[in-house]
Amino acid sequence: MAFVVTDNCIQCKYTDCVEVCPVDCFYEGPNFLVIHPDECIDCALCEPECPANAIYSEDELPDSMQHFFELNEMLAEHWPNLAERKDPLPDAEKWDGVENKLDKLEGLPEDL
Ligand code: SF4
Ligand code: F3S
């Protein structure tokens, strides 16, 4: 079992989540963060820290967001680790709550 970062992180990337993760299993792309499912120890500390409410436990992932599990798994293999909080993206407040931001996702492997 693992926790999963979902759509509302895209274009926000607040990074409050990384500060509490005891195993540093977050990986950073240009405008999204993911959790490596094989490294996550399911401690649940990150979920309440996300101002965008973008983190779900794998077993509580809404049906509409099931594809984010595989996306986290795949991108965590390609992106660098992030272990310290940094500034959110400049337009984070504007994008927070906008639905279906997947088409804005940057840093997919074919772009790398
Ligand atoms: Fe890290 Fe715990 Fe969140 Fe998993 S559930 S990503 S181990 S803080
Ligand atoms: Fe994203 Fe929330 Fe972390 S917006 S970077 S999952 S604090």
Class level of CATH domain 3-89: alpha beta
Helix (H) or strand (E) holding 28: strand 26-28
pLDDT tens digits, one per residue of 32-63:
999 999 999 999 999 999 999 999 999 999 99
CA distance 14 to 32: 9
Task: Give distance in angstroms: CA of 22 to centre of ligand 1.
Answer: 7
Counting every residue written for the chain, the total comes to: 112
pLDDT tens digits, one per residue of 87-109:
999 999 999 999 999 999 999 98
On the 0-12 / 13-18 / 19+ scale of CB atoms within 10 A, 100 is exposed
Side-chain-side CA neighbours of 32 within 13 Å: the count stands at: 25
Assign 110 a pLDDT band (cuts: 50, 70, 90): confident
CA distance 61 to 63: 6
Mutate to test the pocket of ligand 2, among 3, 5, 10, 79 (most ligand atoms within 8 A of CB): 5
| Ligand 2: lining residues by beta carbon, under 6 Å | 5, 9, 12-17, 33, 49-50, 52, 54-55
pTM over 0.95, yes/no: yes
On the 0-12 / 13-18 / 19+ scale of CB atoms within 10 A, 26 is buried
Mutate to test the pocket of ligand 2, among 6, 8, 14 (most ligand atoms within 8 A of CB): 14
